[in-house]
Amino acid sequence: MANKPPRRAAELDERVYAKALVKLQIELVKLQRELIACGERILVLIEGRDAAGKDGAIKHIIEHLSPRETRVVALGPPSDRERHSWYFQRYVRYLPSAGEMVLFNRSWYNRAGVEPVMGFCTRREAREFLETVPDFERMLVRSGIKLFKYYLDIDRHEQRRRLAARRRDPLKQWKLSPVDAKAQKLWRQYSAARDVMFRRTHTEIAPWTVIRADDKHQARLNLIRDLLSRLDYRDRDKRLIKPERDIVFPFEPRFLADGSIAR
């Protein structure tokens, strides 16, 4: 991105969005057909602040995919046994097998954000994670897993608005948590933890991709486009899968200071 893009893109008409989404979901079905036939393994990590739109993005990715070959992993707090095991051990069991796509709704990167900010892990544990996760991901990629790491980025005002709407909506009460309650108060601490995470874990073999998610519709469409554009499959429609680079873009350290990523 040569110039700093605006924080918010023009909002999509609801009908335009729905039509574009269906076309991209058809492309996802084509991808899965190829994935199953070739025995490929795809692992997608969806990270971001509270209320960044992770649930909605994943829901629309998997909506028309085969549940046999598609899994969503959203782990709760670790058990006592898991707390005293190798940190990555609880995640390894959920890695994709041949023909599968697995999406993590938050992942091992809890240890780079929620856990150190909320005091759920020690500083030593957080440092050890940042030192070892590049090696762990390198092993995954070298084993043949296609790994994609997405961070959904929203600004502070948008998070405040979404959290307030969540509290008012009786159908979203299950989303409320003690972590959500402190999201705005700890905004700066989360920003600092995120910046360290990007700098330490953005590698050539497992890079981060940032999705501007202040507009949920634009974020969902462009996440799907980016994912499809980075994978080969038969009969793909190249016109449909070109992502908008003012919304989805590879991470670069300079974006932490120039306003491209929310402060």
> Which sequence spans correspond to the domains of the chain?
14-256
pLDDT attached to residue 182: 93
pLDDT attached to residue 6: 52
CA torsion through residues 183, 188, 193, 197, sign:
positive
Integer Cα distance of 138 and 118 in angstroms: 28
Residues 6+ apart with CB under 8 A from 23: 237, 240
SS3 212: strand
Integer Cα distance of 31 and 233 in angstroms: 6
Q: Which two tokens stand for residue 97?
A: 């097998």
Cβ atoms of 183 and 51 within 8 Å: the answer is: yes
pLDDT attached to residue 39: 98
pLDDT attached to residue 2: 42
CATH topology of domain 14-256: Rossmann fold (3.40.50)
Residues 6+ apart with CB under 8 A from 53: 152, 154, 213, 216, 219, 220
pLDDT attached to residue 3: 46
pLDDT attached to residue 9: 53
Interhelix angle 216-229/14-38, rounded to 10 degrees, is 30
10 Å CB burial of residue 246 (0-12, 13-18, 19+) is middle
10 Å CB burial of residue 93 (0-12, 13-18, 19+) is exposed
pLDDT attached to residue 173: 81
Q: Ramachandran region of residue 235, left (φ > 0), alpha (ψ -120 to 50) or beta?
A: left
Residues of the chain with pLDDT under 70: 1-10
